[in-house]
Amino acid sequence: MNHLHAVIKSIETEDHISLVFLETGGISFSTLVIDTPATAAYLQEGKEVVLVFKETAMSIAKNLVGGLSIRNRLPASVTAVKKGKILTAVSLDCSGNPLTAIITTRSANELAIAVGDLVEGLVKTNDISLMQKE
């Protein structure tokens, strides 16, 4: 699992769902939470939380141009590439935070992912969970 410490910047709520906007290291994130500030005490502006997402939930973009509906874009550098026959683990450094993306080896080969490459990790809003910071 990938973990990033973040601060809640704002919250939009409708019915029992909240769209939470966060920031960590100057990078903005958003996530959907099936809770509201009325039902979950940790959902408060200024509150520190931990963003959690699976390695398989992160895609990798290299030389990305044009529009994209994925709002969570993490600029990073590739620190290691471990290729298997089907899957490749790409280790990233995102502003001093270690992250891992598991992508298909075919995609890694097509992108020619190599150590030192500057890439963007992409994570959909609904693939990020929040944990209370202890």
pLDDT tens for each residue of 108-128: 999 999 999 999 999 999 999
Burial 3-12 (b: 16+ CB within 10 A, else e): ebebebeebe
pLDDT tens for each residue of 41-99: 999 999 999 999 999 999 999 988 888 889 899 999 999 999 999 999 999 999 899 99
DSSP-H helix ranges across the chain:
105-111
Which domains does the chain carry?
2-132 (2.40.50.100)
Cβ-contact 76, 58 below 8 angstroms: no
